[in-house]
Structure 1
């Protein structure tokens, strides 16, 4: 089936997202494990991805867990260090698709303010033809509604979308809606998929 548009997830596809790694470095693995056991920080982040205020949510959570106040605030204060580094090969693939004239979208679980911050730091995040950002849409993957909203907005038939995401549940939902999908493990695997789909020549996918 011909692909009319390619849809990128961002976290762990274009940009590494491993908060645990940041805290392992700053407070040590044992304290990090204790903090993540005491505080559901990923649920906190889901609230931001659903459109709640970036700083407000993090600072309120910090106040609710005073033993970890400084560390939780760090999620906001040094957030760009959590969302790093870029996955350079994936960025090259994004740009190669653009050069080849293939429409490129993002469908990402990301807060409104944190996405704007990331775009100010990483210019490749400003290069999508269409941005589908959960914080703006008030729904996160893998809720089927976010996929439906993209389909209705972009006008591309589901079966002509090719979607890469690192999470199997997000991929499974897209596939259930008829999208072509790629479970992202490595950028080389994604490059091979784009070549196999006829979207890039091997030399363009380096």
Structure 2
């Protein structure tokens, strides 16, 4: 690995927890029914389109037309979103803040709907500390599309080969590497500390 001068963090499942099961275990108590709902109604692919910039009104209308009997649960996805991001990963946040405090160039690149990111930023104020963030829902591109890595690098003046990306998703890590970035897959904070030490960043 070459010298690292830029560190780019993903957010969900790296800095803050995300789990739709939290509210829906209450809203749809039956586990089998809940599994069916996430596999067939409010799917990951459906939610990704909000990360790509589609508005919630359009997203809900599309599903309600297909599943009118599930309207209440479909609308509950956005209504109870705040419960899904239940807590920050304090150990990871500590690493982020040490890197910033030590003068390293830290930015964030996230698949996130624009409106829910605005909420998250007010709730988890450490998200305001890095130099900047690329939010997929604001630019209508999602990881691992090569264009989002190029956009982020250009927006923040990053040299790809000197950029280290941290993300929990194997697909997104592969996308970053294809863009010429260095990248490590987030597993937990201690593993991240070891990964950072290997590239000369003591935290």
Q: TM-score, normalised by structure 1?
A: 0.90
CA shift digits 1:35-70 (9 cap, x unpaired): 1233142222111111122x3144324532222221
Counterpart of 1:171 in structure 2 is 173
1:49 maps to which of 43, 47, 51: 51
Cα distance in 1 for residues equivalent to 2:46 and 2:35: 16
Q: How many residues align?
A: 200
After superposition, the Cα gap between the structure-2 partners of 1:151 and 1:81, relative to the gap in structure 1 and judged at 3 Å, is same
CA distance in 2, matches of 1:16, 1:127: 18
User: Which runs of no fewer than 5 residues in structure 2 stay unpaired?
Assistant: none
Question: How many Å separate the matches in 2 of 1:38 and 1:49?
Answer: 19
CA contact (8 A) 1:164 1:182 kept: yes
In structure 1, stretches of 5+ residues that fail to align are none
Residue 90 (structure 1) aligned to one of 92, 98, 101? 92
List, as ranges, runs of 4+ consecutive aligned residues in structure 1 with deviation greater than 4 Å: none
Query: 1:12 is matched with which residue?
Result: 13
Deviation at 1:104, TM superposition (A): 0.9
Give the superposition deviation at 1:181.
Answer: 0.6
Query: Which residue of structure 1 lines up, in the alignment, with residue 158 of structure 2?
Result: 156
Offset from partner CA, 1:160-183 (integer Å, 9 cap, x none): 100011111110111122211101
CA distance in 2 between counterparts of 1:79 and 1:129 reads 26
Judge conservation of contact 1:166–1:185 (CA < 8 Å) in 2. yes
TM-score (norm 2): 0.91
**Aligned twin of 2:102:** 100
| Distance in 2, Cα, partners of 1:116 & 1:107 | 14
Give the whole-Å Cα distance in 1 for the aligned partners of 2:191 and 2:59: 35
